[in-house]
Amino acid sequence: MHALIVFAHPEPASFNGTLKDAAVRRLEALGHTVEVSDLYGEGFDPVEGARHYENRLDPDKFATLAEQRHAGRQGTLAADVSREIARIERADLVIFQFPLWWHAQPAILKGWFDRVFVNGLLYNGSKRYDRGVFRGRQAVVSLTTGAPEASFAPGGRSGDIELLLWPIHYSLNYMGFSVLPPFLSFGVAGHGYRYDSDEEKSRRLDARRRAWEARLATIADETPLPFSGWSDWDEAGLPLCADRADGALRFRSRQGAR
């Protein structure tokens, strides 16, 4: 197996960096090959815009998706985007390692999605979900949070973690990935925030690192999260059968039942 780790944290010595390094060591020890896309370390530009397109379809007005399609067809994508696409295409497993910032992924990782998942080249109206270009590849989110686990329960003060992760999981599903259950490391607080003693925190985080290493040994055999596919929707994109509706609909039903 070849794995790609998309690492989105500005500090290599952070706990995110620890988990990234642990994944590299463990996967390589298991005989796999690993590549790291260090978004901060490599200076990835997350801001999409006209400056990334030298051979413009329309030099007078910038339309993002049209310019992406044109550059993909012409083979004139920016070098950093082409590099990232090649990395994904080499991978059987893509690990996204990042902290939860403002209830989502850091902006640099959101911008990676915006620029790297090129319209026309990697998806179109029919080439998505279970017909997506990355079908057959696995993806998993390894996420750290500042607040403790209990606060991420449904109705908790930090927000329902399942709901917070829904957009990134759904985007990966949209691109055709088999999306595995996330690996969650709660309570990785710093900068004056404290939920337990330094000694307790050190033990707790070391246990999470070991749990991550253990999980990686069997991750290729895991069952992905359930998502609806093309055969589950009618022509309007609505579910044909209520019991096949995806997680977003289940969440709304759960909220309405309260």
Q: Is the pLDDT of residue 189 over 60?
A: yes
Overall number of domains in the chain: 2
Same domain, 97 and 216: yes
Confidence at residue 206, expressed as pLDDT on a 0 to 100 scale: 92
The whole domain housing 142 covers 2-227
Residue 204 is encoded by which pair of tokens?
């707790």
**Tell me, what CATH number does 195's domain have?**
3.40.50.360
Confidence at residue 253, expressed as pLDDT on a 0 to 100 scale: 42
Contacts of residue 222, Cβ cutoff 8 Å, sequence gap at least 6: 138, 180, 181
What number is the average pLDDT over the span 78-100? 98
- Express each pLDDT in 213-258 by its tens digit: 999 999 999 999 999 999 999 999 999 986 655 555 454 444 443 3
Same domain, 199 and 237: no
What average pLDDT is seen over the chain? 92
d(CA 109, CA 131): 24
In this structure, are residues 183 and 142 in contact, taking their beta carbons and an 8 Å threshold? yes
Q: Strands 178-179 and 183-185: what pairing?
A: unpaired
- Express each pLDDT in 199-223 by its tens digit: 787 888 899 999 999 999 999 999 9
Same domain, 8 and 128: yes
Same domain, 10 and 105: yes
Please name which of 161, 15, 169, 181 lies closest in space to residue 97, comparing C-alpha atoms.
15
d(CA 26, CA 216): 7
Same domain, 129 and 236: no
